[in-house]
Structure 1
Amino acid sequence: MIPPESDPFDDLIAAAERSAVHLELRDTYAVDPESKDYAAWLAGDTSSRTRDSDRERRKPWLDLVRDTVARGVEMRRARVVSLPPTDYIRFEHSGAPLNIEAGEQVRWLDRADAVDLLLPGADLWLFDRKVVRFGLFSGDGALLGYEIIDDSAVASRVATAFEAVWERAVPHDRFRI
């Protein structure tokens, strides 16, 4: 397992030529960089100060999305979520417009509508349908690390699973939580 501090994501996204797709399967995450914004959001603070803080905190990501899409790489994110949603999913849903503004496509799928799909056991990024970066989390959502797999059979299965979710998922602007 690759520890979180050695995440190869930057190299993988830089090497992507056509596509980078992200499948998220968890209903909660405990990710330190967003903890302050999440706490403010939970407390009901949706002021412009908080939105500006969120935009500023996410600026490196949003810039990366813009740059990646500008060089012709399609970026798509599909989230399989339980309804009614957890607070964390509601928080993510409220922040998704920034991802979309930057050029990332975002769709949502109610977990109940995915019961007959064969899905991977972990969140993942798939780059150019060749390399998979699995994100490994503890039960409470803490990031443990990553596994990188460049096996074509695994990449093919992951691509099939992602596309099945994508086909059923609802675009962000139409998904109600």
Structure 2
Amino acid sequence: MELITGDALQRFFKEFRREALHLEMRDTYGTEVEKPHLKKWEAGDRDDLEWLQPWFDTVREATRVGKVIRRARIISEPITDYQRWVLSDSHLFTDAGEQIVWIPRRLVSTVALPGNDFWLFDEETVIFSIFAGAGEVVERQMSKAPDAIQLCKHAFETVWSLGVPDGEYEPV
């Protein structure tokens, strides 16, 4: 596998042709971008959400030209405060055009899952996100290996079929 930068990952969002699939399997993340906004939410303060606009613009542009962006979130229940925070604004992601489902972890016990979260672009390139225990991104690994693509596509489609659409998920 080849290591890539965050900037290289961002280029894939401009260059993919049909579909970008994202599987998230952690209950908490702690990226540098998110931390200050999560702290605001925890304190009960309102966030201006300006920091999310570049992502919403990316999604709107992709879906405007017929591309699909789907995100599946495998979550433990009861959900963590982090996931409560994500859920509180997830309607903004779907309003922009992203399709999101939530999958309770208890439903995926017999699903073969890759070891890390990933983005799969056009069933050609998979990019795994490797996280530290506290949730920071440590590295990104890119693969075009057919077995990695097949594992990720099958895992994604299987959990997607078990998911609850974003607007219908009721947190436990």
> C-alpha distance in 2, partners of 1:102/1:73?
13
Secondary structure of the corresponding residue to residue 10 of structure 1: helix
User: Quick check: which one's helix share is greater?
Assistant: 1
> C-alpha distance in 1, partners of 2:155/2:4?
26
Verify: 1:2 aligned to 2:23, yes or no: no
CA contact (8 A) 1:3 1:144 kept: no
CA contact (8 A) 1:7 1:146 kept: no
Q: Percent identity?
A: 35
Give unpaired runs (5+ residues) of structure 2: none
CA contact (8 A) 2:4 2:142 kept: no
CA contact (8 A) 2:123 2:149 kept: yes
Moved over 4 A (4+): none
In angstroms, what is the RMSD of aligned CA positions? 1.3
How many residue pairs match? The answer is 170
1:16 match: 16
1:154 match: 148
For normalisation by structure 2, the TM-score amounts to 0.94
1:140 match: 134
> Could you give the per-residue CA deviations for residues 101-159 of structure 1, whole angstroms, max 9, x where no partner exists?
10000100000111111111101000001100100001111110100001122101110
CA contact (8 A) 1:17 1:72 kept: no
What is the CA-CA distance between 1:44 and the residue it aligns to? 2.0
> C-alpha distance in 2, partners of 1:165/1:36?
31
> C-alpha distance in 2, partners of 1:100/1:11?
22
Give unpaired runs (5+ residues) of structure 1: none
